[in-house]
Amino acid sequence: MIAEDLFDLAPVIPVVVLDDAEAAVPLARALVEGGLPVIEVTLRTPSALAAIARIAAEVPDAVVGAGTVVRPEDAERSAAAGAKFLVSPGCTARLQAAMVATGLPFLPGVATASEAIALLEGGITAMKFFPAEAAGGASYLKALGGPLPQIRFCPTGGISLRNAADYLALGNVGCVGGSWLTPADAVRDGDWDRVRKLASEAAALRTG
């Protein structure tokens, strides 16, 4: 699998924060059943790597990845835990080298044209656009499509069911990422029916 393949699996990648690894498997199953097989577990909690390992081992239909990869060791540990892809909020040469070394597909984060061009020089054409809304939103990404038509993005940050379609209508957007699919209270209460319903609504989104 290459990074561009992630764009073809679902229109939305759930961005998940898990405080309890025990919730990882039922959460992942609910998302997959709702039609969203690609799941980004962010490395923002001590339970994240264990959650990735549980999903990788117990939910075969899920394509689980690690998000908030900001250090070389994050890439290495995520790969060892069973992550199938990596996502970073930004990118440095050292972090890029570490992600490449894992052999996993990855979406390095950019917020400007210069950052995107720097990655393009290294042959990377699939990127995360973050923080999407704060950095200029769908209109900014549309503008980037003119001079940089070879790049496709997964915008994340401030995206919800309300504005996801605006991004997905753009030719240079492969999918979007969002945390609205796994509300903290639903995860805490184990309300997997709610998660499944939110996933189903998001899975119904189609590009323009």
Give residue for tokens 């990422």: 177
Q: Which of 84, 115, 128, 142 is catalytic?
A: 128
Q: Which of 4, 22, 33, 40 is catalytic?
A: 40
> Is 40 a catalytic site residue?
yes
Q: H helices of the chain, where? A: 3-7, 24-33, 48-58, 72-81, 93-102, 113-120, 137-144, 164-168, 184-189, 192-203
> Is 121 a catalytic site residue?
no
Using CA atoms, how far apart are residues 46 and 51, in angstroms rounded to an integer? 10
Strand, helix or coil for residue 42: strand
> Under 8 Å CB-to-CB from 123, ≥6 apart: which residues?
none
Catalogue the active-site residues.
40, 128
